[in-house]
Structure formats: C-alpha cells, structure tokens
Structure 1
Amino acid sequence: MNFKKVAVVSSLVLLSGGLAACGKANANSKTSQKTLSLMQTSSLQSLDTSNQADFTQWNMLQQSMEGLYRMNAKDQVVAGMAKKVVKPTNNGKTYTFQLRHNAKWSNGDPVTAQDFVTAWRRSVSATSTSGYSYIYEGVKNAAQISAGKQPTSALGAKAVDKYTFRVTLSHAMPYLNKMLVMPAFFPQDHQLVTKYGSKYGSNSTKMAYNGPFKLTGWNGTNDTWSLVKNNTYYDKKTVKLDKMTVRVVKDSNTAHNLFSSNKLDDAMISGVTAQGLQHDKHLKHVSKAGTYYLRLNMNKNHALHNAKLRRALNLVLNKENLTKKVLSDGSTPAHNYVTPTLVKDPTTGKDFGTETANTDTYNVKKAQQLWQQGLKELGKSSVTLKLYSDDTTTAKTIDEFVQAAVEQHLSGAKVNVSSVPAKASGSAVESGNFDMAYTMWLADYADPVSFFDVITKTNPQNYGHYDDAQFNAAVTAAHGKNATNTAAYWQNMRTAAKRVNTTNAVVPLYNMTESHLVNSKLAGVVYHSVGENDYTRAYFK
C-alpha cells in the first residue's frame, strides 16, 4: 500500500538478516540489544486509515495494528483478530468471523466487532479522504455508499454480537482472504473514534493500538517517533524487541552515513550512493511486487489526452539505461504496469507480468514521428508538460532523466519539473494540476486486479482520468460474473493488461527492487513481496 494508499513516491524500509555488516549490534551480546533503528523516506501524515493512505502510514500500522488476518513468514494467511481463517457460506458471499476474546487495545479496551464496523463504515463513506474506499467494492452496498447514494449503515459489515463480525458480499471474491491482511481493513477503537472525531489518528496519542507495538512520540508533524512493545497484545510472548525508533531520511547519502555511524540498523540507498555500494558485503536486494511509473493526466484539457503523445513518451525513455546507469540499485526495467513475479496465470502457467509485457519498447525515431503527429492533431507546434514528484533524491533523479530524454528528442516539448514534499505533490495530483507524475504502485495482494482497480473509470485514485471502455468492461466482469470462473477471470486480466499497453494508460519505468544496508545481527524479520514488511518478531542474534 497500496501500500498501498495514494501512490506518491515513498518507500518502505525492508529488513533482512544474515549479512556481514558493521552495525552497532556487533559489539553487543546475544540478547542485550532490544531496540531496532529504522528509517522511512517520507513523512508520516496520519494514522487514520479513513483519512490517509500511504506507505509510511501503512508500514507503521503493520507493526502496531492487526486485522482479522495477518501474513506469516511463509506468506500464508493466518488468524489475527479472528480466531481462525473462515470459509465463506452463501455461495461465497457471507463470511462470519469469531473474534478473540483476549484481544485488547493498548488502552485496555476489548477489540470488538463494532471496532471493525466503525472502521469499515468510516473508510467506505462518501466523506472518506483516504482515496482507498474503492478497496471495499464487493462488500454489499459499498460502491453505493462511497457514491453518497446510501448511508454507511447499509454496508454489508455487521456486529452480530460483541465478538461476532459478519461480512456480506454482493458477489463472491475468492481473493478476499488475501485482502483482509491489509491495513485498509484494520479495526479502529470505536470509543476513541467517538471521542476524537476528525482528530482521531492525527497524532500518536489520539488512537489505540491492537498489534505487537504501539506508536509514541509523533505529534502529527515531526519526523522522528518510536514503536514500543504493546503489553496488551494477545501474542506478546512472541515479540522480542522492546522498541523500534524511526526517523525520516529522504537522502540516500545521509542514510548511508547513518548506517556507517551505527545510527540505523537498516538503510535504504539509491542513485549515486547505491552505485558505489552494489558489491558491498552489507548489501541486500529486496524485490517487491511494485512498479514505478509516470501517471499521465488524460483529461480532455491536457495534452496527454492525445494517445500518440502518450505513446511517444513511452517510446522515448530508455528504461534499460535508466536502471543500469542512472539508478544502478538492482532495479529492473518495467515494460508492464503489472510487476513480473506478482503471480502466475493459472490458465497458462506463465508469470502474468511477463506474458502480458508491452513489446512496444524504446524507439526514438518512432517516438519522434508519433510526437509530431500528435501535435498536429492538437493543432499545436509545442507543449509544456508539468512533471510532479516528491522531493526525495531518487525522485529528483527520475525527474532529470525524464526531462532530459523528452526535451532532447521530442521537438516542441518542454518539461517543467516540480520536486516538492509528498503532501504538496499529492495535492497537485489530486487537484489535476499536472501532466505527468512520478509515482508507484505496490500490489496490495497477489492478483493483477490490485493494479487494475486503481485506474478504472470510477476509482477515486484514477487521478489521470484513464477511461477505456474495453479495460473497464474487463475489470468489471472479473469482479462480477467471472469472479469464480477461473478461465474467464484470467482472460479478463489479459484483456485489461493489453488495453493498458495499447492505450499507454501509464508509462512504466522500473520494477521495485530496493538496496539496503542491513545489520548482520538482525534476524526474524519477514519481508513480503506483496504488502508491508513485518518487523514485529525481529530480534538481534
């Protein structure tokens, strides 16, 4: 999160053990170190999943909250707040969850079915500002509620009694279990929501936590905070750390220096810093099911409404050069919106991202021809494109790469770059004041539809206003009549992928592979290719 999760550019800090490193734990005995030092590359803006959705938030909630289910070290869905993983009834449309009676919030309140009802209703409401209400579509009446056509009380999420939570779907969703581990579906202490109202989650004290850790020291704006062990957590015996400290570090060189001076147990590096450390013995590459890409504004009053200009942009960017010579951090070129290694197409046995990759790749001459044709169709001799990104080092590097390629090779093209803090970048995109935006999407669950949903016509995160009838029809059918028909479902997925490529709905840049310097003493961390990483059972050897 999609995060996932307004897909502004920020990155999760991924952790791994088993590397030879000079981190501070080397001087400690086997059990003396109980504090883990982490970083994030963007600021924390809110802890309220009904108000905000981005990577830093979701990464912090992964450590401090727990949903009905969670993912274990083998990427299997296992029981969380629910006593067990349940099987649906009513032809796959009804799920009845029995909650743990010993689950408590950090303030001592019991975790109840009403906490899930409150959270889900707030997140699906027409007034939700997370941009993530669409993820509930499929739950009965969710789409109508988000559109303001029904009250939140109509949502197919009911508290049968204090510890029984029932979910009713409008159609079968075979992938629902995978979705329920996402922070978007986490509960909210309904008593605190009532107490704090719109201020709920605006700082670390205005909410409670039902997971292994609780967040402290965040006042709503500062860039350092902590996660301390939550003694009310039902499974606290498996939690070995006492504390995690977190700081925001936007610059790769700064991250490297902090790691070298033993102030970070994990440091994410990129760009020039990564180029010089790719053979360092402390380095760990972590692959994630995410794609970095350019979001394009296809509104009718923007130049990139023109399909030929969009295709020209895709063809003029040398993605192999970008990953090998510019980023040099182990990332791989992206020729598809859906990341390879996300999932196999069960009907073909092939990796979905690979089998549906765009064969229309780097070709400057063709790009120049299409660009001029597109300008002619618009009745223009030149266009100026606004490119937005956040102000991280990597984002600025991407901005320079795109600006140089476009202005050098496409006559009449000018790119105005705005590298601004994530909040400002997100606001510009949400308001439609952009032509291109450097962003990424990290799969919420292991299915291509996790990528496709966010660019369907009615999705609140479809800030580029992509609207292709064949694409929308394929995704709609996959969610509806073909949800339980494996052959038809995956044909819908292939159709959607083809339309994204043919219409150049986005410009894929590179697949998400991160470079990390990691403390050799760190163990027990689970890094998932899909979703957020789990530090909650980490320890120092």
Structure 2
Amino acid sequence: MKKVKHTVKLLGALVSSVVILSACGNAEGIYDDKGQVFRKVITQDMSSLDTAKVTDNVSFDKFNQVYEGLYTAGKSDKVEPGVATGEPEVTNGGKTWTIHLRKNAKWSNGDPVTAHDFEFAWKRVLDPNTAAEYAYIMYDLKNAEAVNMGKKDVNTLGVKALDDYTLRFELTKPIPYYKEMLAFGTFLPQNEKIVKKYGERYGTSEDKSVYNGPFKVKDWAVEDKIILVKNNEYWDKQAVKLDKVNYKVLKDSQAGASLYDTESVDDTTITSEQVEKYKDDVALKKRIMPATFYLKLNQGQVPELKNQHMRLALAQAINKEDYVNSVLNNGSAVTDGFTAKGTADAPNGKDFTSQIKSPLKYDVKKAKENYEKAKKELGKDKFTMTLNTDDTPSSKISAEFIKSQIETTLPGITIKIKQFPFKQRIAREQSENYEISLSGWAPDYPDPMTFLKIMTTGNTSNNTGWGNKKYDELLKKANGELLQNAEARNQTLIEAEELLLNEAPVAPIYQKGEAHLTNPQVKGLHYHNMGGDTSLKYTYIDKSIDRKTGKKKTK
C-alpha cells in the first residue's frame, strides 16, 4: 500500500505542476474569474446531453443546470415548481395528474417549452427503439411497461398534452412520492424539432441540443472541460447571478487541490491524504451522501460467483472501517446494507436503514467459514477474478485495498485490477462484460424502492446475473397493493432488503462522503440527496469575502 500511495503522490506532483503552469497561461480560459464565474474540478465527464440516454449522476448533475422539468429540487431537496405553474391537480383516486405549464418558459433557441415537449420526451424514453436504460423508472405510467417491451404502440402511453400548456398523465396506481419523481432527469422535456434534426447525434455535443434551464452549454470538450453560460431565454433569468460555470475534468485530486491553492478554481474534491493537510482550512467541507458503493458480483461471467457462500465470503472479507478511515478519509461511512441512510424514513420517523439486519458485516471468522463451504461445494481451492474500477489514482488505491483484504482473508483467491474511464466502466456493467466491478447507486426519489427496484430480475441496472422470484414479488407488492398501507409496506421492504443481503449478489462497502475545498466566497450552492448533486441557479461569488479567512475583507 505504501508503495502505491508514494507512486500516486509523485504522479500527482507532476500532474499538479503541469496543471498550474496551464492555469497561469490561461488567464482568459477555464480558470478566469472575471465577473460572476464558478470554477469547479470534476473527476469524471458527463456521458451525454440526451436525457433519455443517461443513468449516471455526473450527467444528471449537469442536467440540473441546463434543463428544467415540471418540478425541481430546491433547497434541502424540497420540490418546487419549475416549468409547472403550481401544484398538480390529482384526481381519480390519485391516478390522474393534470399539470399546468407556465407560458413564459422557453428553450435557448427561443422556442416555447410546451406540454408537447414533455409528452414527446416521455414517449421517446419508453420507445423500445431508444433503448433507454432508465425507461423502467416510468413504468408506473399507464401502459408504460407494455410500450417499452414492444407489446403496445407508443401512442397508447398514458400521457397527453391537452393543449400547449396543459399536460395530463395516468398512473397505474397512486404513488405518494410521484411529484418528487417528476423532478428527476429522465422526466425532463425534449424539443422534438431538435431531437429529430440531429437523430443519433442528438446530445453528443453542445450544439446538438437546446436548453431550458438557468444555463446552457457553450463548450464541451470530452474528458477535458464543460463550460456553461447564463441562458438569457430562461424564464427566471433574473434570479440567476452567475455568468459562467466552468467545469474542469481532472482525474487526479492532487492536481485539483493545487489549482485551488493558486486560486484557479472555487471547488474541488480532495484525497484522504490531503484532508489532513487542510484540516484547519476554512475551505475544507465534508458531506455524507445517500449513495451506496458496493462490489457487483457478476454470476454470468464467473461461475464461482453463483455460489452463495463465495459471495458471502467476499462481502465479509473487507475491513470497511479501515477502508473509510484510511483509504477514503473524506466523510464516507461504513455500510452493510444496500439502501443508503438518508434516502427515506420509516413510518416511525426513524431512518429506513435503521431497521435492516445485515449478514454482510466485516467478519473474518464468518468470511473464512463461508469460503471453506464454497471451496467444498465448488470442488476447487484456487480462484482468479478481475475487479474493474475507474481510471483515477484514488480508484486504484481503493481497488488495491480491496484486493489486499480479499487475498489476505481468503487465501487462494487472486484479484486482478483493471481500470477504465468512467463511461467505459459503466458500459461494461450495462453489457455485463465484467467479473467484479466497484460501482455505486444514489437515490432518484425519497423511497427505498429507488435502491431495491434496481436488483429485480432483468432490471437494466442489475447486471449481476442474479434474480429471485420472491424478491421480485415482495417489491411488486410494495409498489402495488401495499402503497396505501405504510406499516405493511415498510415490513415488506425490510424483508426484501434482508433477502437481498443474505443472497449477496452485491457486497456493500461504504456510503459515499466527499471532502471538498470550497471557496468561502461561494454562496447559494445547493446540494441534493436525490438526482444530480447540485443546483447552481442561486449560486454567486461574494468577492467581499476574504478567500483565505472566510471573513469580510477589511478596507
């Protein structure tokens, strides 16, 4: 481990030097702070500007800035009207929703945002020809699943623009949290004229999309930078104070910290080693997010992973406390469950996760016991598996730690590490072209179902080759006949999660935390637990604040 860390430090120092020199020679570019500009380092690029084609949080975060749905997540995740003028009219026992749209909402090309844009977008997501990975999130719309499976025509979908500014849709059953779902990225509108103009190229570059949010994309250089500028066609542009948002894609957090030190950026995540360096700095901020990170164990690629005892052994073999304290040190927390703390409350007001009993705690003795059973059942004692992770230095350190823990606790297992760019790692998961992958999931709406549903049989985000009929049935009940019975539904969701954990198709490790250096001049930056991480609509830079002390400057 020391050798790996040392290598990363040297690499980081070299990269940092190059980045600082680049920043100094780029006064009018991405590091320029003239006017109201927020400059942020991100470790991964977004995958697309096409809201029908995205499943990753990096892209959804950018969607928060450049698109706007019927409703949006405001401060403290309180959902507020976006393109909608107010609250929905809910009739037919909670199954029919009618929403009126504001008449002053426009796309960045001047076209009005209409109810037809929502009808078109939702039908496009569910059209099987689109092959949208996230189509299932709309399955509560009338006929949605049948449409997506090619069993019914897309025009039978239960959504209709009654006129330019009235949208009506039908649900299969009343969903108490559906307004929160309408704020999620997959439900965003699309301009039919632009989508059809560019076809398969739609959303692949900044000029092949139009925007109806507070900002629009001016420049997107893949794996390098994303530059947003204020959208002057946005209906509420008076509330938007930033002129520009500059995202710099840097996989090495050492370099991000160096840029912060030279006042070239306003926000960057930092590594565990850097947290100690900045522990007394006013810029250091830690936040815990309701995102679970875990090992996906692909039974389709590795026959040995079909063995339950092998999966349990792997899940129990990793010292998670050492991992979050020594490897991450960024506010992350150990988790033994799948649903992340902070996603939803139980009927008694406590966090849903407090009710879950998990067998996947770090336990060397139990890990060895399960491993011995697995070896006996499989008739072999040597195993080689490949662990996929992102191509960042910190991801490499994480993978090396996991490899060391498994190989030490379970002798005979050899873990090989393969690193891929974020988009490639995700693509390999979606095509099930991997053996083990360090992956994560964050909630899309405030209900345990947002985690548990992705592990149902055949779900496009499952990708593990695992399925369980009883698990599927429990979730079907929780999302159907028990929706109006909070206590019974809660118990059913507990039973489902505990079944999942005992089967262990995934091995939970930690709930994600982030350590940031954030310029104290940055005000009005809203973080979210659901959907994309941030909203920048109300963000501004208060230059009367001293960047070093966080206090008002003295004259």
Q: TM-score w.r.t. structure 1 length?
A: 0.91
2:411 equivalent in structure 1 = 411
Structure 1 Cα separation of the partners of residues 209 and 424 of structure 2:
26
Q: Is the partner of 1:443 in helix, strand or coil?
A: coil
Q: Is the partner of 1:343 in helix, strand or coil?
A: coil
Structure 2 Cα separation of the partners of residues 126 and 92 of structure 1:
28
Structure 1 Cα separation of the partners of residues 161 and 355 of structure 2:
44
1:28 equivalent in structure 2 = none
Deviation of 1:208 (Å): 0.6
Structure 2 Cα separation of the partners of residues 430 and 244 of structure 1:
31
Letter in 1 for 2:42: Q
1:516 equivalent in structure 2 = 516
Deviation of 1:275 (Å): 4.4
Structure 2 Cα separation of the partners of residues 469 and 361 of structure 1:
25
2:87 equivalent in structure 1 = 85
Structure 2 Cα separation of the partners of residues 78 and 427 of structure 1:
34
Q: Is the partner of 1:88 in helix, strand or coil?
A: strand
Alignment partner of 1:373 is 2:373? yes
Once the two structures are overlaid, the 10-residue window that deviates more, 465-474 or 412-421, is 465-474
RMSD of Structure 2 on Structure 1 (CA): 1.7
1:386 equivalent in structure 2 = 386
Alignment equivalent of 2:170, drawn from 150, 154, 168: 168
1:460-471 pair list within 5 angstroms? 460-471=460-471
Q: Is the partner of 2:169 in helix, strand or coil?
A: strand
Structure 1 Cα separation of the partners of residues 488 and 301 of structure 2:
33
Equivalent pairs counted in the alignment come to 509
Alignment partner of 1:525 is 2:525? yes
Name the CA shift for 1:54/1:164 in 2 (closer, same or farther; >3 Å).
same
1:232 equivalent in structure 2 = 233
List runs of 5+ in structure 2 lacking aligned partners. Answer: 1-32, 543-555
Structure 1 Cα separation of the partners of residues 314 and 75 of structure 2:
40
Q: In the TM superposition, what whole-angstrom CA distance separates every residue of 1:33-68 from its partner, at most 9, and x where no partner exists?
A: 401101221122210021232122111110011000
Q: Is the partner of 1:218 in helix, strand or coil?
A: strand
Q: Which has the higher helix share?
A: 2
Alignment partner of 1:153 is 2:155? yes
Q: Is the partner of 1:440 in helix, strand or coil?
A: strand
Deviation of 1:102 (Å): 0.7
Deviation of 1:357 (Å): 4.5
Structure 2 Cα separation of the partners of residues 275 and 327 of structure 1:
12
1:86-485 pair list within 5 angstroms? 86-218=88-220, 221-299=222-300, 302-346=303-347, 348-358=348-358, 360-485=360-485
Alignment equivalent of 1:70, drawn from 69, 72, 89: 72
Q: In the TM superposition, what whole-angstrom CA distance separates every residue of 1:144-166 from its partner, at most 9, and x where no partner exists?
A: 12222222212111111111111
Q: Is the partner of 1:487 in helix, strand or coil?
A: helix
Structure 2 Cα separation of the partners of residues 432 and 144 of structure 1:
24
Once the two structures are overlaid, the 10-residue window that deviates more, 441-450 or 501-510, is 501-510
Letter in 2 for 1:491: Q
Deviation of 1:467 (Å): 0.9
Letter in 1 for 2:515: S
Percent of aligned pairs sharing the same letter: 35
Q: In the TM superposition, what whole-angstrom CA distance separates every residue of 1:461-496 from its partner, at most 9, and x where no partner exists?
A: 110122122221111111111122212221221111
1:17 equivalent in structure 2 = none
Q: Is the partner of 1:320 in helix, strand or coil?
A: helix
Structure 2 Cα separation of the partners of residues 528 and 222 of structure 1:
24
Q: In the TM superposition, what whole-angstrom CA distance separates every residue of 1:150-197 from its partner, at most 9, and x where no partner exists?
A: 222121111111111111111111111111111111000111112111
Kept after mapping to 2: 8 A contact 1:67/1:187: yes
Kept after mapping to 1: 8 A contact 2:108/2:234: yes
Letter in 2 for 1:187: P
Kept after mapping to 2: 8 A contact 1:275/1:329: no
Q: TM-score w.r.t. structure 2 length?
A: 0.89
Kept after mapping to 1: 8 A contact 2:260/2:266: yes
Letter in 2 for 1:332: A
Structure 2 Cα separation of the partners of residues 523 and 517 of structure 1:
14
Name the CA shift for 1:292/1:275 in 2 (closer, same or farther; >3 Å).
farther
Kept after mapping to 1: 8 A contact 2:49/2:59: yes
Once the two structures are overlaid, the 10-residue window that deviates more, 114-123 or 515-524, is 114-123
Letter in 2 for 1:167: F
Letter in 1 for 2:483: A
Name the CA shift for 1:279/1:128 in 2 (closer, same or farther; >3 Å).
farther
Name the CA shift for 1:183/1:46 in 2 (closer, same or farther; >3 Å).
same
Q: Is the partner of 1:39 in helix, strand or coil?
A: strand
Q: In the TM superposition, what whole-angstrom CA distance separates every residue of 1:347-378 from its partner, at most 9, and x where no partner exists?
A: x3321112214254222122112112112212
1:539 equivalent in structure 2 = 540
Letter in 1 for 2:349: G
Kept after mapping to 1: 8 A contact 2:475/2:493: yes
1:14-33 pair list within 5 angstroms? 33=35
2:48 equivalent in structure 1 = 46
Structure 1 Cα separation of the partners of residues 360 and 537 of structure 2:
43
Kept after mapping to 2: 8 A contact 1:116/1:188: yes
Structure 2 Cα separation of the partners of residues 436 and 281 of structure 1:
39
Structure 2 Cα separation of the partners of residues 278 and 530 of structure 1:
28
Kept after mapping to 2: 8 A contact 1:386/1:418: yes
Q: Is the partner of 1:408 in helix, strand or coil?
A: helix
Letter in 1 for 2:300: N
Q: In the TM superposition, what whole-angstrom CA distance separates every residue of 1:492-539 from its partner, at most 9, and x where no partner exists?
A: 211112112211131111111110001011101111223321111101
1:7 equivalent in structure 2 = none
Once the two structures are overlaid, the 10-residue window that deviates more, 475-484 or 237-246, is 475-484
Kept after mapping to 1: 8 A contact 2:282/2:520: no
Kept after mapping to 1: 8 A contact 2:45/2:58: yes
Letter in 2 for 1:242: D
Kept after mapping to 1: 8 A contact 2:43/2:253: no
Kept after mapping to 2: 8 A contact 1:173/1:483: yes
Structure 2 Cα separation of the partners of residues 259 and 110 of structure 1:
40
Letter in 1 for 2:481: K
Structure 1 Cα separation of the partners of residues 211 and 469 of structure 2:
43
